[in-house]
Structure formats: C-alpha cells, structure tokens
C-alpha cells in the first residue's frame, strides 16, 4: 500500500509539475524571428493568392502581378503594410500568443480572397486596388488580434488554444481561397455566354470610340459576324440596348432595346 501510495503521489506531483511548466513555458508561442516571419508573410501571400485561380483564368492571372521591376517594387512596398501590422500585433501578444495567430489567420484569409479575386485587366484604374487592399488588410489583422485576445481570456487550456489556432488557420485558407475561386468560376461562366474581345485587340484601323448617351454604359464588346450581311460587326451590350456597329466607322447598323430583369447571379 505504501508503494502504491508513493507511485500515486509521484504521478500527481509530475502532473502538477507539467501544468506548472506549461504555464511557464506555454505550448503556443510567437515565431522566434517575428520580423522575418511578418515580412515573408506580407510579401508572399499576395502572389500565392493568385495561384489557385490560374486553372480558371490562365497563367496570365499570375503574371499580371509581375509588371516589370518598377511595378513589382510598387506592389511589394504596399504589401509591407500587413507585415507592419503583424509585427505590431506580435509585439503586443507576448503574454497572449493566441491573439497574434488569430491576427495571422484573419489577415491571410482576407489577402487570399482579395488578391485572388481582383482583376487588374478589368479597367485602366484597377491597379489602384493594390494600394487599398493592404490598408484594408491592416484593419482585418487588428480585428483578428482583438478577437484573439478575447479568446485568450476565455480559453485557459493551452492545448485547446493550439487546436483553435490550427482550426482558424485552416478555415482562413479554405474560405479565403475558396471564395476567390468561386467568384472566378461564376465570372468565367457568365463571360462564356457572351464572349468578348478588347477593342485594342480588334483588327481595326480606327480604335478610338467616343462616348454617347444613346447606348448607356457598355457592358461587353464583341467582334464577329452577327447578322445576315457578310462580314464582321461590333456588338455592344449596354445597360438598355444591344447595338450592332460597323467595324470601320462605328456607324449604328441596328439597335435592340430591352429591359433588364432580376436573375440569380
């Protein structure tokens, strides 16, 4: 009995020692090189976010983020904003590493979605998004950090905190990349119903189109043979009409008025 009691007491002592050690040396820790970790995360995630969409949009979707040396430096400079935010939250999470990892999950999820779905070819000013997305991500990182602080206060078990970090990390990657892929799939499906080509790619002598009020905002331009007359035409899909134009002079050949109806997607 004395021997068994000694074993039991030793086991309890070891258990208490382990709990005490976990309090002194927690399982969940900050990265050993916080600055380097934050820099790599901020600089690489925007480019990694483009990769899941390549099978849908083509490899040009990835190469759009490499517009020469000057453009690459421009993008990378603004991508340092989330890096600074992560470094700051890491410095403020020495007693609560859980909060830092929540900020990482929030920022990564947002960047995977935003950089994965932004179309730099949609307009001449689309690249402005590369300035605002890092700024918005800093707000997302701060929100994730605050949520992590609340969870740190609520959840006391160290192993439970580790499991929660793993869960929110996987969730951020899946949701961020998943939404970007879903948006691209829906856009590609919609565009395939009405193929379009940029005016600059058309074999035309005259390329300058002046705005007009009769058509409204032009949604899509298409080049091809659309009527019974031999030869190609330009079809302009506007908000209220479908207009057929002569390729050389942009003279209106026909105009069909319609009213838009609500539909899914």
| Per-residue model confidence as pLDDT tens digits over 177-202 | 999 999 888 877 766 665 555 555 54
Q: Distance of alpha carbon 122 from its chain centroid, rounded?
A: 16
What angle do the packed helices 97-117 and 158-193 form, to 10 degrees?
A: 10
* Residue in this structure with the two tokens 């453009």, named with its chain if needed: 71
Using DSSP bridges, classify how beta strands 218-224 and 241-245 pair: parallel, antiparallel or unpaired: unpaired
138 neighbors 85 (Cβ within 8 angstroms) = yes
Separation CA 75–CA 35 (nearest Å): 19
Burial of 86 from C-beta contacts in 10 A (0-12 / 13-18 / 19+)? buried
- Cβ neighbors of 166 (< 8 A, separation 6 or more) are none
For 33-46, what is each residue's pLDDT tens digit?
999 999 999 999 99
Phi and psi based region of residue 68 (left: phi greater than 0; alpha: psi -120 to 50; beta: remaining): left
Closest among 261, 229, 260, 259 to 246, alpha carbons compared: 229
45 neighbors 104 (Cβ within 8 angstroms) = no
Confidence of residue 12 (pLDDT cuts 50, 70, 90): very low
Helices (H), 25-67: 34-48, 54-57, 60-63
pLDDT-wise least confident of 68-72, 98-102, 175-179? 68-72
Of 236 and 46, the one with more pLDDT: 46
Element (H, E) at 183: helix 158-193
Which pLDDT score, from 0 to 100, does residue 261 have? 66
Separation CA 37–CA 83 (nearest Å): 9
For 14-23, what is each residue's pLDDT tens digit?
454 444 444 4
Dihedral in degrees, nearest 10, Cα atoms 40, 169, 58, 192: -150
Q: Which residues pair with 255 in a beta bridge?
A: 243
Using DSSP bridges, classify how beta strands 252-257 and 233-238 pair: parallel, antiparallel or unpaired: unpaired
Which pLDDT score, from 0 to 100, does residue 198 have? 52
- Cβ neighbors of 92 (< 8 A, separation 6 or more) are 99, 145
244 neighbors 227 (Cβ within 8 angstroms) = yes
Confidence of residue 243 (pLDDT cuts 50, 70, 90): confident
């Amino acid at each position: 009995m004395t021997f068994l009691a000694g074993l039991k007491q030793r086991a309890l002592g070891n258990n208490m020692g382990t709990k005490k050690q976990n309090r002194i040396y927690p399982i969940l820790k900050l990265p050993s090189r916080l600055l380097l970790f934050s820099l790599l995360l901020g600089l690489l995630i925007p480019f990694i976010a483009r990769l899941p969409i390549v099978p849908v949009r083509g490899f040009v979707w990835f190469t759009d983020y490499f517009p020469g040396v000057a453009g690459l430096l421009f993008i990378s400079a603004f991508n340092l904003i989330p890096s600074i935010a992560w470094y700051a939250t890491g410095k403020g999470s020495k007693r609560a590493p859980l909060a830092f990892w929540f900020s990482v999950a929030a920022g990564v999820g947002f960047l995977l979605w935003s950089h994965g779905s932004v179309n730099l070819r949609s307009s001449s000013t689309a690249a402005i998004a590369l300035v605002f997305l890092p700024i918005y991500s800093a707000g997302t990182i701060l929100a994730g950090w605050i949520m992590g602080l609340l969870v740190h206060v609520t959840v006391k078990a160290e192993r439970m905190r580790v499991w929660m970090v793993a869960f929110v990390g996987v969730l951020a990657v899946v949701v961020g990349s998943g939404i970007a892929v879903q948006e691209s799939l829906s856009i590609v499906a919609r565009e395939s119903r009405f193929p379009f080509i940029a005016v600059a790619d058309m074999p035309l002598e005259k390329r300058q189109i002046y705005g007009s009020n009769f058509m409204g905002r032009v949604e899509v331009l298409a080049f091809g043979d659309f009527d019974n007359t031999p030869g190609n035409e330009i079809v302009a899909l506007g908000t209220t009409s479908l207009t057929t134009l002569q390729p050389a002079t942009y003279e209106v050949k026909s105009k069909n008025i319609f009213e838009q109806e609500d539909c899914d997607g």
